[in-house]
């Protein structure tokens, strides 16, 4: 009898986890506006960042009745946060519906991004300061042009390239349970690169201009 009850409980739990997943309908959404600072505070979301073609900040994402983004523009700062209030325990939707695409103008003052469970990819972004914090996903970037780059990642790898030579950057790198091609510390340089990686590898290339 106990075994039968256990099986029945497992079946009921599986049904609960899947209930409504197939019925969840997503619609594409877009935000456009001007901002010099962008803050992304997300959960279980993959993020792709690329240059804007018209100098505007453009956000492309999907939302449903259960899952959406809160987008707020306060002065020159645009803040985007995950809004999953009231979402019950269940399977996550496909990653395509949990991917946010962000297009940023050149010369952004600052970009701050946190997310969990998925990857973050950046290409050809220029900003005064970029701060990335990812738990449970990889960070990759190509040809970033930054004054200061701070990367924190747990259970994920960091790989990418920065515009600037060895003498341009001061470097601080801490790696636990992984390998790195960067020194733990290097002084000098007008730009800064800081990496804190737990349970992952670091491979960052500097590209002299």
Residue-wise pLDDT tens digits, 80-116: 999 875 455 467 889 999 999 999 999 999 999 999 9
Structural domain boundaries, residue 51: 2-207
Q: What is the pLDDT of residues 109-145, one digit of tens each?
A: 999 999 999 999 999 999 999 999 999 999 999 999 9
For residue 43, give the DSSP letter: S
Q: What is the pLDDT of residues 1-57, one digit of tens each?
A: 544 444 344 444 444 444 444 478 999 999 999 999 999 999 999 999 999 999 999
C-alpha angle 158-137-170 in degrees, rounded to nearest 5: 25
| Number of domains forming the structure of the chain | 1
Q: What are phi and psi of 154, to 5 degrees?
A: -125, 130
User: Which helix (DSSP H) or strand (DSSP E) does residue 73 occupy?
Assistant: strand 68-74
Cα dihedral 150, 154, 160, 166 sign: positive
Whether the Cβ atoms of residue 34 and residue 72 lie closer than 8 Å to each other:
no
Three-state SS at 140 = strand
Count Cβ atoms below 10 Å from residue 3 Cβ, excluding itself.
7
Q: What are phi and psi of 33, to 5 degrees?
A: -175, 175
Residue among 102, 100, 101 at smallest CA distance from 56: 102
> Cα–Cα distance between 115 and 27 in angstroms, integer?
21
């Amino acid at each position: 009898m106990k075994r039968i009850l256990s099986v029945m409980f497992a079946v009921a739990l599986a049904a609960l986890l899947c209930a409504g997943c197939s019925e969840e309908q997503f619609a594409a959404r877009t935000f456009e506006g001007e901002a010099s600072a962008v803050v992304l505070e997300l959960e279980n979301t993959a993020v792709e960042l690329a240059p804007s073609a018209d100098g505007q900040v453009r956000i492309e994402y999907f939302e449903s009745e259960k899952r959406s983004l809160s987008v707020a523009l306060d002065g020159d700062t645009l803040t985007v946060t995950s809004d999953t209030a009231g979402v019950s325990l269940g399977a996550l939707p496909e990653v395509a519906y949990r991917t946010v695409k962000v297009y940023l103008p050149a010369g952004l003052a600052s970009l701050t991004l946190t997310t969990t469970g998925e990857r973050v990819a950046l290409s050809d972004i220029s900003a005064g300061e970029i701060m990335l914090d990812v738990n449970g996903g990889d960070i990759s970037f190509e040809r970033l042009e930054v004054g200061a780059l701070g990367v924190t990642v747990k259970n994920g790898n960091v790989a990418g390239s920065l515009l600037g030579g060895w003498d341009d950057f001061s470097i601080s790198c801490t790696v636990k349970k992984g390998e790195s091609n960067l020194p733990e510390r290097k002084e000098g340089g007008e730009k800064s690169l800081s990496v804190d990686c737990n349970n992952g590898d670091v491979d960052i290339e500097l590209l002299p201009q």
